[in-house]
Amino acid sequence: MKLNSKIRKKITDYFSKKPEIEAVYLYGSQAKNVARSDSDIDLAALVNDKGNFSGFDIPQTRYAHELQRIIHKEIEVQNLEDVSIDFAHRVLSEGQLLVGLESKKRVEFEERILRVYFDMKPFFDEYVQSIHEIAKKGELNVRYF
């Protein structure tokens, strides 16, 4: 199921009004057009330091809460600065940029993630292969891998 253009516009309008937002990506099942009607909307945001945050105010939690009230759908927002390199790479390679086409910080962030990811890729591949071998032996206690 493809993300409704009205919902997409509400998301882009919401984030476009936030001065602290450098970029927002849609990722997951909605970006791949394989979402079901009950699927949530997965977003990843690149936030600069212009945000008015203090104490325990976590921007991605605030964004998710406010957006859920606007579009009446389950939303998950990740802060791209706080996720692992392989997750950030997956968002950049499989996701869709919704906000931030002209952002210099976004370009620098993408460059850094790609550089580090490809430096680390042999280690990621070795790790996945090791886990796969352990799972095949039945030592991982997981059903699918």
Question: Domains of the chain: which residue ranges?
Answer: 5-136
Positions of E strands within 10-122:
21-27, 41-47, 75-79, 96-99
Of the options 3.30.70.141, 3.30.460.10, 1.10.1740.10, 3.90.1150.10, the CATH number for the domain spanning 5-136: 3.30.460.10
User: Whole-prediction pTM value?
Assistant: 0.84
Positions of E strands within the chain:
21-27, 41-47, 75-79, 96-99
pLDDT per residue rounded down to tens, the chain (145 residues):
678 899 999 999 999 999 999 999 999 999 999 999 889 999 999 998 755 555 556 788 889 999 999 999 999 999 998 899 999 999 999 999 999 988 899 999 999 999 999 999 999 899 989 988 888 887 776 555 5
How far is it, in rounded angstroms, from Cα 116 to Cα 71? 36
How far is it, in rounded angstroms, from Cα 126 to Cα 100? 34
The closest of 9, 28, 1 to 98, measured between CA atoms, is 9
**Helix 104-136 and helix 85-94: axis angle, to 10°?**
110
